[in-house]
Amino acid sequence: MIDHPPTAATLRRLERASGAIATRAVARMDEDLPWFRTMPADQRSWVMLVAQAGIASLVEWCRAPGRPPRLTGEVFGAAPRDLVRAVPLKQTVDLVKLTVEVMEDHVESVAEPGDADTLRMAVLQYSREVAFATAHVYASFAENRGAWDARLEALVVDALVRGERSEELPGRAAALGWDGTGPVAVLVGAAPADGDAHTGVRRAARSQRCEVLVGVHAEQLVVVLGGGEDVPTAAERVAEEFGPGPVVLGPVVDRLSAAGGSAAAALAGLRAARAWPGAPRPVSADALLPERALDGDPLARAALTGRAVLPLRTAGGEVLETVRAVLTAGGNLEASARALFVHPNTVRYRLKRAAELTGLAVTDPRGAWTLQVALALADLDGDRSLWH
């Protein structure tokens, strides 16, 4: 509250000079603040509006000293809310400080004789009110923005989980700061028991220089990682923030709009992961193809056919026959050679060929299991030609 408001004549002169003072304030900002000079023209014009509204509010406050200045609505409401996003709090403080200095410089020329000290005191008291209002505006924006970002992030992650192919998805993610470039993959597992599923994940992702979106669906934690140089390596660090149990990484895709497929594979892998108790953490969804196929995942079944069955069939009957013989013999190469009436080295050569074609080694327990499931499912599908 002002103890002794300036005279009516002084306030009229201040009101008439408000445009010139605001213009001079913006000119000072341009001279003294390098970052202000780089602002777009529309944002600079918003600052001018706020400065003019501030001077007008000062006049009204001096005319009704018993009423607190309505700075949040009258002054800061003169500019779009986007200005709060574009200008950080520290820079806003610099703007306010310069505007107050310019107003103080004009006190002598605006005030009626004998009224300069009173007007100067009013400006100082008003600047204090502006400081409190500025802090309130930014605090409210941070709170509202935080709530809005949380809802928007949940919508984006939910859309990926449900497999939506919305054209709005990249735009929504961009509003959250996602730059839209680089590989992307989805990581799923149990949410941590303490309920704070976001803080640790974000910290871990930032340590790996990855962008991240986080969502919790029922008890499952869904994390979208992107932008890093090595997403699978980053996933190993982020997986440490999950709750107990398996953590599954979906395939790496080239853009966020394609991440729905990564999410679907990761979730299917999480459902099937209990069939592989010794799986690494995280485990890739592709490494769980046999378990996913047995769980009824048609995409996994098709992937197994394309990766293991079709290459063996293309290679010819001898390679496929040798793989089957080694699987039947439990990996014993000598027994397989006797059953095929060939030298053990021939078996080794054919298995090497099979491994080159499929990426799976019959002599490795995991590779043998994957091939056995793939060939068994192909047989159940009625493709008897695979065995001849």
Question: In the predicted model, what is the mean pLDDT of the chain?
Answer: 81
Write down the pLDDT at residue 142: 47
DSSP 8-state class, residue 253: B
CA distances (Å), origin 274, targets 19, 39, 244: 71, 55, 12
Amino acid at 161: V
Count of positions (residues) in the chain? 388
Cα 191 to chain centroid, rounded: 18
- Residue 81 neighbours by CB under 8 Å, 6+ apart: 141
- Classified as helix, coil or strand, 210 is coil
Residue 246 to residue 194: CA distance in whole angstroms: 18
Cα 162 to chain centroid, rounded: 18
Residue 289 to residue 285: CA distance in whole angstroms: 7
Q: In what order do the strands lie in the sheet containing 220-226?
A: 211-217, 220-226, 184-190, 247-249, 283-284
Write down the pLDDT at residue 255: 84
Q: What percent of the chain has pLDDT over 70?
A: 79
Residue 192 to residue 1: CA distance in whole angstroms: 52
- Per-residue pLDDT reduced to its tens digit, 263-273: 999 999 999 99
**Structural domains in the chain?**
8-144 (no CATH), 180-284 (3.30.70.2730), 298-383 (1.10.10.2840)
DSSP codes joined into one string, 30-74: HHH-HHHHTS-HHHHHHHHHHHHHHHHHHHHHHHSTTSPP-HHHH
Write down the pLDDT at residue 314: 87
- Per-residue pLDDT reduced to its tens digit, 327-380: 999 989 999 899 999 999 999 999 999 999 999 999 999 999 999 999 999 988
